[in-house]
Amino acid sequence: MIVILLFLQFLISKSSIMDRLMQSIKMDINEKLYVKDPESSTLGKKIVEQGILLIYEIGFECFTFKKLGTKIGSNESSIYRYFENKHKMLLYLASWYWGWTEYKLVFATHSISDSKEKLNKAVEILAQTVKEDKSFTHVNEVLLNKIVISEYSKSYLTKEVDNENKEGYFTIYKRLVDRLSEMIAAVDPKYPYPLSLASMVMEGTLHQFFLKEHFPALTNCNDKVTPAEYFVDLIFRTLKTKPNG
């Protein structure tokens, strides 16, 4: 009996509820990032789905709408009716990713009242490896996570950042940094750099994953030590406290 109950609980916590929730969610992405909402048609979803695969395969630099057109058996010009250019498409995909991450974060932390436990959970969510693709949607989150690791910086390291920031293209990401910053401040209201610590964790996580893959000599993260462990440890050392203590 208890075995069955535990198994049920496992199912609920690990999969069902969360997954169903995620499937019914429509990401709230800045409308200026697309010409026509890719969620509104089959072709649009195909563009996003196969776009993710192609960017993952050949990298953002080599990725072109022409190649994507060939891959999906569609015309280049049709893709231009959904996205102005590949930069906007990257911003769109990034917003999708951070929106998805935000849902996971909010879902996993909202019911936690203890501020340390909450922060601990938040960092685990933000720095966790996206392992399985449980989605029934057209978005492969595992690959999208890898794209974000390798390409996200390129979306803001441009001469147009300030304008694009004003247009609200980075809103979701900024809100995530802010949420994390608030959780840090809740644990230690006297810590003077909650924003910098939060933005550093967000960006540093992607970087540590990248190093683990391409510069293993520059990180202590590996098969046994996850970026999440490193950052949880870092945060609680910095705030001179322990996750639970």
Give residues in contact with DNA (CB under 7 A): 36, 41-44, 62, 64-67, 73-78, 80-81, 84-87
Q: Applying CB under 8 A, which of residues 14, 20, 36, 240 lies at the interface with a copy of itself?
A: 240
Using the minimum distance from each CB to a copy of itself, give the nearer residue, 135 or 238.
238
- Measured N-to-C along each axis, helices 86-109 and 16-23 cross at an angle, to the nearest 10 degrees, of 140
Residue 163 touches which member of DNA, a copy of itself, none, C-beta under 5-8 Å by kind: none
Query: Is 80 strand, coil or helix?
Result: helix
Residue 19 touches which member of DNA, a copy of itself, none, C-beta under 5-8 Å by kind: none
Structure tokens at 46: 């195909």
Q: What are phi and psi of 66, to 5 degrees?
A: -60, -50
Total length of the chain: 245
What's the closest the beta carbon of residue 168 comes to DNA, in angstroms? 20
User: Cα dist. 188→13, 105, 142, 196, 230 in Å?
Assistant: 29, 20, 34, 14, 19
Decide: is 85 part of the binding site for a copy of itself (CB under 8 A): no
Token pair 């999208």 is at which residue?
144
Instruction: Give how far the C-alpha of residue 91 lies from the chain's centroid of Cα atoms, to the nearest Å.
Output: 12
> What mask, x for binding a copy of itself by CB under 8 A, covers residues 159 to 188?
x-xx--x----x---x--xx----------
Dist CA 162 CA 156 (whole Å): 9
Residue 240 zone, left/alpha/beta (φ > 0; ψ -120 to 50; rest): left
102 contacts 178 by C-beta, under 8 angstroms: no
Contact stretch for a copy of itself (CB under 8 A) within 38-46, 59-67, 73-81, 129-137: 59-67
Using the minimum distance from each CB to DNA, give the nearer residue, 22 or 54.
54
Instruction: Report 186-225 residues binding a copy of itself (CB under 8 A).
Output: 192-200, 203-204, 207-208, 210-211, 214-215, 217-221, 225
Instruction: Report 111-150 residues binding a copy of itself (CB under 8 A).
Output: 150
What's the closest the beta carbon of residue 22 comes to DNA, in angstroms? 25
Q: Applying CB under 8 A, which of residues 1, 3, 5, 157 lies at the interface with a copy of itself?
A: 157
Structure tokens at 227: 């970026």
Structure tokens at 127: 């720095």
Using the minimum distance from each CB to DNA, give the nearer residue, 28 or 61.
61
Residue 32 touches which member of a copy of itself, DNA, none, C-beta under 5-8 Å by kind: none
Decide: is 43 part of the binding site for a copy of itself (CB under 8 A): no
Dist CA 24 CA 39 (whole Å): 12
What's the closest the beta carbon of residue 166 comes to a copy of itself, in angstroms? 11
Alpha helices in 110-193, H assignment, sequence order:
115-127, 141-156, 161-166, 171-187
DSSP annotation of 33 reads: G
Which residues are near a copy of itself by CB under 8 A?
58-59, 61-62, 150-151, 153-154, 156-159, 161-162, 165, 170, 174, 177-178, 192-200, 203-204, 207-208, 210-211, 214-215, 217-221, 225, 230, 233-234, 237-238, 240
